[in-house]
Structure 1
Amino acid sequence: MSRHEPLQPAYNFSSAPEPVGLFQGTVDVGLGKKRFSGTADLWLKFLPSPRVIFHARVQGTPESEPLFAVAIQDDPFLSFNGQRIEGFRGRWRADVDTFELDWHPRSEPVALCDMQSKTSVAAILHLFNFPDFRDGQYQTTAAPAGRALLVLKAEGWRVSLQSLPNNATHEAWERIKDEGGCFLTHVAKLERKDGKLFSGDEACEQRLLLASFLSFTKGGRCETVCEVGLDAAGDKTWETFGSPRITNPPYSWFNPSKASQAELLFPLFVKRWQQSEEWRDCLRSAIYWYVQANTNGGALGIDAAIILAQAALERLAHHHLVVDKKMISPEGLDRLRASERLRLLFSNLNLPVGISAATPEIQKAALRFNWRDAPHAMTDIRNELVHPASKKRVVDCFFEAWKLSLWYLELSVLALCGYDDTYTSRLTAEYVNESAQVPWGARGSQF
């Protein structure tokens, strides 16, 4: 692979967490039965939480001031560069002949053009709070000087992720650790491997796939934002505008010091994702619940995280055992206990089911409650959270049950994709950059 050109962000995000201007245009605002014209700036605001906002300024006359004050109580609308933006108003201010308001789009990303009709040979993508990775497969042969490189290739597409120049990715992560919030950490380039054109709609499809893959890799919600399509001359052909939706999970299966793990998984993940619409929905749902459950003490408590993680496992079990392999009927699976459903899934994926020394509290409790294996322990603890009828004292097992459920969930997704390399075990790893072989196959160990 030849050396990659250094990528530059399409927008200057260096002023974050201060608002960043993305676009300017003309605007029409409807207030009651009147319409007013003016200008608007499209901003990416980071505080109190990331969101894109249109800040509009329209002109009236001194006679308009009472209308401004009264009509804002009605349902206003906003049209930007001739395109109506569905949304709702935020802050507003009225002077004698000037009216300003913030307009919040109802959904993101916002596209200000017909994405199907616009084509490009490449697209620039922006990533916030993505792990500071290194040691990709192409680092020594293809990375620009001073940049970390991760290349994701599958089904005729290539996504090249680069760190920022001048050690800016490391500095961004120092700010994230010290201040919280979100900062640009990587720039990516999407392109077809054969160099052919692709539409904006096709780029959006790849973005959805990447969002699930990157979220599973990071262990928390992570998606590209503010994508820009480029033609062969490097000019913009389309743009989408969205805000980063980020979380900072405690850890995941991915070792940032071994970026090749993501490069090896990606084509396997895409193959499974594209196998059918049902598999796509299954993976998307399981990963959504996974990132919600991989909490680091935020709004979601560890009890809710245990419930969500096991719901994701049961979703995978149903699709793999009933829909894909047809090993059992839907009615047959429903008749099984939850522990039996999980045991059947894990056994079919060659995952160990025994209770090991990696979960000492569960191991001690197993003697009191006659838990035969890990699926039995996990589901019994979950049942005590949902239906505490027997009043078993299992609170000391909550943390380990959470870790164990997520460990099984990560390994189940990896196994269902056919991945057979290394990962970070949240049960045994002492450091985030410690890797072990997956526990199936000839080289795998039990834990």
Structure 2
Amino acid sequence: MSQGLRDDPRDETPLQPVYPFNPPGASVVLYEGPIAGLADDERLGRIELDCGPRVGVRWRAELQPEDHRLELGKASLTVQRAGRDWTIDAHERSSGEGWINVAAFLRPNARLQRVLVQWMNLPNIIGPIGLFVSSGDTKRWWLGRWRADIDGWRLTLDARPDYTEALDHAHETHLYVFTHVMEIRRTDDSLFDVDAVMRLLDCLRVTFSFAFGRWVTPVLPVGYDPTGKVAWEMWTSPICDPAKSIGSPCLYRGRPDDLTELVRCAVPAFNDAAKPGNTRFQMSLAIQAVEAGYVEQRILAAAPALEHLAWTELVLNNRWTRKAYEDRYAEDRLRYLLQLANIPTGIDPTALPALAKFAQANRLDGPTAVTRVRNRLIHPQTPEDQIYKHDGLVEDTWQLYRRYATLLLLHSIGYHGEYINPVRNTGWVGNTVPVPWGTDTPIPTPAMPPAKSTVRRSNRRTAR
């Protein structure tokens, strides 16, 4: 993060988070005081967001010996916040402690004007807006603010001022840390309900995770009404990868305009009533294709993402009939999609030598080669089908599968920025390239592939 001193009237004041930025792994106290529901009388207790190594909302209470129960299970905790009692569904791990999956505090008929929410384990997104803070003799400046107006929402995201120092050692262990704070408003400052902002936060969670190649998440949203009073708050045990995870981003954090373009395309795609949940499902699988443990698992996440993309783009968008879709082989459907987006179907022998050798020996192009490898993983028929005798073949197949899934997903939502090619990217992580359909030259409609009944599969070896 760029830091230093400067005098620029364009610099802005950073957002103040509801909960202070925590050191990596340090718990964040959400509530401390009397808790009812565990005994005949109230007991002192604490609820906190545990930030490492097992992230989640935990509770503890100071029980007396007579309070202990033999049967543990679900519990109802009653706490007092903002002058009223709230009941929280909880789970007991042992007597006097346990965990909470979700707790929501919503005033009746609440209408919100702004929401503050913190983000966990986001990468160091660079600017482009400068932030300046002064306290006594201490002054600090950093390129820490990203702002975007998207689909009627104004999103302002600030990085913590000590991002570099805070994350210096977090990568050494599985820890979780608040890295950013975000403010959400409507661009016209009108009011909105909780359901609307929850849908937006879910879209941002999945979209940011897709952009940066690992699960990141917003946590502890707090909503304010027009008088500035808290009208809604929610605690959840987040789904997030630890700060140690490097990930494999498809966007470069130093190109904030690309992030704006991605979110601009993703929000309406997530809200598309004609294809509810499609983009969310595809992005979630694409994230799994990056961060899942074994490379085989990543292939098996990317393959259904591509199948789902093919069904959505070809059948739901009325390019093909259902019968035409089912009458074509999976590799032919994939090839057709790639050609629609001007994505090359060849295999780079320098970047993917094992897959290129396998394809050349069998006269296959990229979509056919990855499909054949995937099929042999799932349905091996003979000893000759054992793909592990080809060193590096599974790894290369995953890399090309992931490139196809990333690009086709970006194409499906209308993205026109730059991206990091997961296959060819060597050296500096900021080596981005334009998407292949981002030209003024019209892309011709590809020819319809032959139906299964017109050609024997064993003879379909010539690359096209």
Q: Give the letter for the 2:398 counterpart.
A: W
CA 1:131–1:54: 2 relative to 1, 3 Å: same
2:29 to 4, 21, 24: 21
TM-score, normalised by the number of residues in structure 1: 0.85
Tell me the alpha carbon deviations over residues 66-119 of structure 1, each in whole angstroms, 9 at most, x when there is no partner.
x534x3315452232344333320132xxxxxxxx12322x33x21234x6223
- What secondary structure, in the 3-state scheme, does the structure 2 residue paired with 1:354 have? coil
Q: Please, what is the CA RMSD of the aligned residues? A: 2.6
Q: Establish whether residue 429 from structure 1 lines up as the match of residue 425 from structure 2.
A: yes
- What secondary structure, in the 3-state scheme, does the structure 2 residue paired with 1:112 have? strand
Distance 1:143 1:267 in 2: 27
Q: Does structure 2 retain, via aligned residues, the 8 Å contact 1:37–1:58?
A: no
2:211 aligned partner = 217
2:48 to 35, 43, 46: 43
2:76 aligned partner = 78
User: Structure 2 matches for 1:171-210, cutoff 5 A?
Assistant: 171-210=165-204
- Structure 2: state its 5+ residue gaps: 1-8, 80-84, 134-140, 442-464
* Number of residue equivalences: 413
Q: Does structure 1 retain, via aligned residues, the 8 Å contact 2:286–2:302?
A: yes
Q: Does structure 2 retain, via aligned residues, the 8 Å contact 1:26–1:39?
A: yes
User: Structure 2 matches for 1:226-241, cutoff 5 A?
Assistant: 226-232=220-226, 234-241=228-235
1:164 aligned partner = 160
- What secondary structure, in the 3-state scheme, does the structure 2 residue paired with 1:441 have? coil
1:273 to 245, 270, 273: 270
TM-score, normalised by the number of residues in structure 2: 0.82
Q: Does structure 2 retain, via aligned residues, the 8 Å contact 1:117–1:200?
A: no
2:286 to 273, 286, 290: 290
1:129 aligned partner = 121
Q: Give the letter for the 1:256 counterpart.
A: R
CA 1:335–1:72: 2 relative to 1, 3 Å: farther
1:343 to 316, 323, 335: 335
- What secondary structure, in the 3-state scheme, does the structure 2 residue paired with 1:103 have? strand
Tell me the alpha carbon deviations over residues 380-412 of structure 1, each in whole angstroms, 9 at most, x when there is no partner.
111111111143353321111111111111111
Q: Establish whether residue 87 from structure 1 lines up as the match of residue 90 from structure 2.
A: yes
Q: Does structure 2 retain, via aligned residues, the 8 Å contact 1:292–1:305?
A: yes
CA 1:377–1:37: 2 relative to 1, 3 Å: same
Q: Give the letter for the 1:398 counterpart.
A: V
Q: Give the letter for the 1:5 counterpart.
A: T
Q: In the TM superposition, what is the alpha-carbon distance from 1:317 to its structure 2 partner?
A: 0.9
2:299 aligned partner = 306
Q: Establish whether residue 374 from structure 1 lines up as the match of residue 374 from structure 2.
A: no
Q: Does structure 2 retain, via aligned residues, the 8 Å contact 1:9–1:187?
A: yes
Q: In the TM superposition, what is the alpha-carbon distance from 1:233 to its structure 2 partner?
A: 5.6
1:96 aligned partner = none
Distance 1:176 1:399 in 2: 28
- What secondary structure, in the 3-state scheme, does the structure 1 residue paired with 2:62 have? strand
Q: In the TM superposition, what is the alpha-carbon distance from 1:176 to its structure 2 partner?
A: 2.5
Q: Does structure 2 retain, via aligned residues, the 8 Å contact 1:29–1:37?
A: yes
Q: Percent identity?
A: 23
1:97 aligned partner = none
CA 1:277–1:2: 2 relative to 1, 3 Å: farther
Q: In the TM superposition, what is the alpha-carbon distance from 1:251 to its structure 2 partner?
A: 1.4
Q: Give the letter for the 2:413 counterpart.
A: C
